[in-house]
Amino acid sequence: MIPVKGFSGQKVAVLGLGRSGLAAARALRAGGAEPVCWDDNPAARERAEDEGFACSDLRRQGAFDGIATLIVSPGIPHLYPEPNPVVAAALEAGVPVDNDIGLFFRSFSGPEWNNFDTPPRVIAVTGSNGKSTTAALIHHILTETGREAQLAGNIGRGVLDIDPGGDGSVMVLELSSYQTELARALTPDVAVFTNLSPDHLDRHHGLGGYFAAKRRLFAEGGPDRAVIGVDEAEGAFLAGQLSEGPADDRVIRVSVARKLTGPGWQVFARKGFLSEYRKGRQAGSIDLRAIKGLPGAHNHQNACAAYAACRSLGLAPRVIEDALHSYPGLPHRSQIIAEADGVTYVNDSKATNVDSAVKALSAFKKIRWICGGLEKEGGIAALNGAATEVLKAYVIGREAANFAMQLDMDAQVCTSMAAAVEQAVADSQPGETVLLAPAAASFDQYDNFEQRGEDFSEQVKTRLGE
């Protein structure tokens, strides 16, 4: 646990008592603060009270009298589409609003660091797609090479729930836009921006607000090194803002769309080969094609970003390459769950938006595609031009018929996962891939994308008789 500093003897309100909220309450108490907790869900309040936390309705008049600050969980809106009433009340009372990420960065360092040979480092990863894989890949590389490392944030443990940093240790944080947009302190040593595509637009009041939330990771404190995917206009703009000139190697530019040139520091992948150039000379190269845990161009982008982050810490190219080959992949992200009779079954339930689904579709050949769910803003038209390898679509979800009508390919309305998997298995031939890449949210049929992916995996195993 990271005890929170700066609030000893003060009351701090905590809104939202899920994983991050409860971890924040514990860390505040460990630092001498008095947490005052609230969640609209009675079961969540009961769990907090079982741990000895006081729960008080923060919606009542005068609830913020004597409160030093309000800590808000990531899923609770503070501005768009409209502020949560508790957040609005705090702002009206002049009470600062923060989150667990802000508390982490203000509390992570300590006087014991003066005795370390190498102070702990923080690598923070954000972006629209690939940030989970990139963060997990960085963590994997570090642990495989003998570095003490922890993985937290939007993946793994809550940031305040991790152990204090040791000599030479590295904290790898995956941060969503919900987390970066509100944190009052953001000071990683290395910050990574994977890419940007439309997502969560209602929460951020449009693409500009969404990019602004991501950009805060680089603008609020200023990392020592920034790894920036420059294949979209926003990434190129961000790299330009952070750089002092073409040779400024504090910015490492990453691409899977083109070869990068110039006197600076670049890492790019073309035709399955990763290349690192620095000061106009090649400094490293890796053949990514044989790495089963990283299929497709989108995973090659993740590999480039993770490679660049680890190189910024001084790891050698060949050491990183060896670690890449042992990376098993993340559940629900281009995860190969079975291979039978020449057919490969891939679970990419995390492909919850069109852009991530497009990347999954480009990673495989001869695809029997299971898709559908709760459509996100912007529609699914972009899928049609990217589905050249799709032999047939098997559409799930409550609005499966409407989803299928928008596809310009052979599409069968299945509605349920069981029916989709049964038909896809029956139709498949050797050399083909049955791919779950929904291009939609899961909430019409499942609690989350993990549950959807687990259902797919179980249905596949059932059909294959495993």
Is there a contact between 71 and 15 (Cβ–Cβ < 8 Å)? yes
Cα(135)–Cα(126) distance, integer angstroms: 9
Spatial CA neighbour of 386 closest among 447, 424, 309, 439:
439
Cα(223)–Cα(312) distance, integer angstroms: 12
Residue/partner pairs of 427-431 with CB below 8 Å, 24 or more apart: 427/368, 427/391, 427/392, 428/343, 428/368, 429/342, 429/343, 430/341, 430/342, 430/343, 431/342, 431/343, 431/365, 431/366
Beta-sheet pairing, 170-174 with 121-126: parallel
SS3 301: helix
Query: Residue 401 corresponds to which amino acid?
Result: A
Cα(65)–Cα(51) distance, integer angstroms: 24
How far from chain centre, in Å, is Cα 91? 29
Is there a contact between 91 and 263 (Cβ–Cβ < 8 Å)? no
Is there a contact between 395 and 371 (Cβ–Cβ < 8 Å)? yes
Question: What six digits make up the tokens of 112?
Answer: 């014991």
Interaxial angle between packed helices 317-325 and 296-312, expressed in degrees from 0 to 180 and rounded to the nearest 10: 140
| Binding positions for ATP | 127-133
| Binding positions | 127-133
Q: CA 58, 64, 65, 67 torsion: positive or negative?
A: positive
> Given the structure tokens 């990419």, which residue do they identify?
348
